[in-house]
Amino acid sequence: MKVTFNFGSFLSARSVMGDTMVELGENYKNVWALTADTGGALKEYKQKFPDRYIDVGVAEQNLAGIAAGLALEGNVPFIAGMIPFMTMRACEQNRTAICYQDLPVRFIGTGGGLTSGGGSTHNAMEDISIMKSMVNMAVLSIGDPNMVRDIMLLSMTYPHPLYIRLAQGKKDRMLYEPGAYEYKIGMGITAREGKDATIISHGEMVFEALEAAKTLADEGIDVRVVDMYSIKPVDKDLVCKVARETGNILVLEDHLMEGGLASTIADVFVDSGVYPKKFKRLGIPQVFAGFGSGEELRAKFGYDKTAAVAAIKKMLK
Amino acid sequence: MADAKEVSRLKALAYEMRKKLIHLCGNYDGIVHIGGDLSMTDLLIGLYHHGLKVDPKQIGSPTRDRFLLSKGHGAVCMYIAMSLRGYFDYDEIVRTYGQLDSAYGMHPCKIQLPGVDCSSGSLGQGLAMAAGMAFSAKQKKEAHRVFCMMGDGETCEGEVWEAANTAGSYKLGNLIGVVDRNKQLMTSFDGDYMNLEPYADKWRAFNWNVVEFNGHDMAQIVDALDNLPPVTGSRPTALIASTVKGKGVSFMEKNIGWHAGALSPEDMQKALADIEAGFAGKGSAA
């Protein structure tokens, strides 16, 4: 295994994002940083590259349009902000100004799933569904802050719109050693081997999946874990492979169960004709979840590691 | 003061363009946004044949002025103005307009039609994109301008004013908003439901330089375009052109029914006769 898990270590993905923006700004003269009054992590970038930094105030639709205009002129704009407003408020601008013209705009959103702590207005439970429905848009979900830099660097070779969903972005668990993987849009990572079942997850929920697998291993159940950080395009070969090899598939995600990764995986099964023995999804039900931490809400709505353990056991009965 | 010969040349082009618009509309089995096309005909001729520094032989030249048609439903008007400049073949536009796989449709698509600077069709989105292009040009210290043509109706959209605020705040002197102020929305007149006045003051409030003129008086159009502030100026400019929807066709002028429509052979003949009379100085002065 190339992977090293540092379950006790945390890092701010926002800081990594801000540092990487500086790195990109130095290396690429066509990189711009854009924000709608949420540029706290971009202070150093702003100081170093004031002529390639735009803060439009609280105006996400306008910001998406400006990003499109910059990209039409050969620039690579990175929009940093809070997910619900980046994906929903500016939904049509993202679709028509950016995706329709197939422009290389990067969206980096913080507060994935129910991690925001801001309640239902600030939770991001529809974003993957919205963004993956847009033609030309790729959708990634990253929990490990170390991956953030690598993916941002990788994005410079990607000529289409790209949405990168982070977890809360303040105190994120490190899963992989830096440099452990060569990431690729359209690929997933087998984060843990196993033969009895597979948990497919994304973002910081991969940590929950790995914890569940550890618990199950103590009971003699050997569970594979896939980090499907690329949700669109999705790694169809890997999805089919784990279905064939382990039979039982659990999708665990911090997103509405409708429209997220689970729906994508189900589509792969139906379209490919490769079916798992059993398939179960755990995520956010059709509720506005309200207040609480991400961990508390995951437990309340039944998609944390404890729920994953129970679901796998039931599947294997 | 606009050069009389140039004004005369542009007037003849606008006359030619109106006839071509009617010809296309009359020969197309579908609706054309003819009302708004006719209200911005003179403006587009002024832009593509006088004001814009563009060259149809070098469509991607980085030094060219940019033009974004935010009121994308006026695409056919832009296609024809551009065809008269040598970008496209008018006969090809008429032959294929709105047909399967045609590059020429109701709303412009940059991917399908190289030569247009951006895709549009969803109203209110052009100015923000133009601002983005202006940001880029300013940062690179390029000397060209970015023009964005808007219908006044679409300026009900919030994104327009978000972009206006940004452009004023960031002193985008290389950005020119051109408003086809025909005082009609699709289904109502300005003031019936939405009152857009005091219109020019709204742009001034966002720190824009505002120039108001008659959008059917070619000399005034030329003057406005000839006297733009320098691109290094500290304010974007709004050219607010007072126009008439359906201009030049008696039964269309200020008629809610002619936001978009199809022309019968009889309507086409009447429209062409009105346009001819107007060019001869005998038409409606609405």
In a structure prediction context, what are the per-residue pLDDT tens digits for chain B, which is 286 residues long? 899 999 999 999 999 999 999 999 999 999 999 999 999 999 999 999 999 999 999 999 999 999 999 999 999 999 999 999 999 999 999 999 999 999 999 999 999 999 999 999 999 999 999 999 999 999 999 999 999 999 999 999 999 999 999 999 999 999 999 999 999 999 999 989 999 999 999 999 999 999 999 999 999 999 999 999 999 999 999 999 999 999 999 999 999 999 999 999 999 999 999 999 999 987 554 4
**Mutation choice for A interface testing from B68, B127, B148, B159 by most A CBs within 10 A:** B159
- Residue B215's CB is within 10 A of a number of other CB atoms, namely 27
Is the CB of B135 less than 8 angstroms away from the CB of A66?
A: yes
Backbone φ and ψ of A53, nearest 5°: -130, 130
Task: Kindly report the pTM of this predicted structure.
Answer: 0.96
Residue A312 CA to residue B196 CA, distance in Å, equals: 61
Inter-CA distances, B151 with B73, B83, B123, B181, B243, Å: 10, 22, 9, 7, 10
For residue A66, which residues of chain B lie inside 8 Å, CB to CB? 128-129, 131-132, 135, 163, 166
What was the pLDDT predicted at A173? 86
How does DSSP assign A176-227, residue by residue?
A: S-TTS----TT--EEEE--SSEEEEE-BTHHHHHHHHHHHHHHTT--EEEEE
CB proximity A223 to B under 8 Å: no
Is the CB of B170 less than 8 angstroms away from the CB of A62?
A: no
pLDDT tens track for A233-268: 999 999 999 999 999 999 999 999 999 999 999 999
Least CA distance to A72: which residue of chain B?
A: B133
Nearest Cβ partner for A102 among B111, B129, B132: B111
Give the angle subtended at the CA of B252 by the CAs of B251 and B258, to the nearest 5°: 130
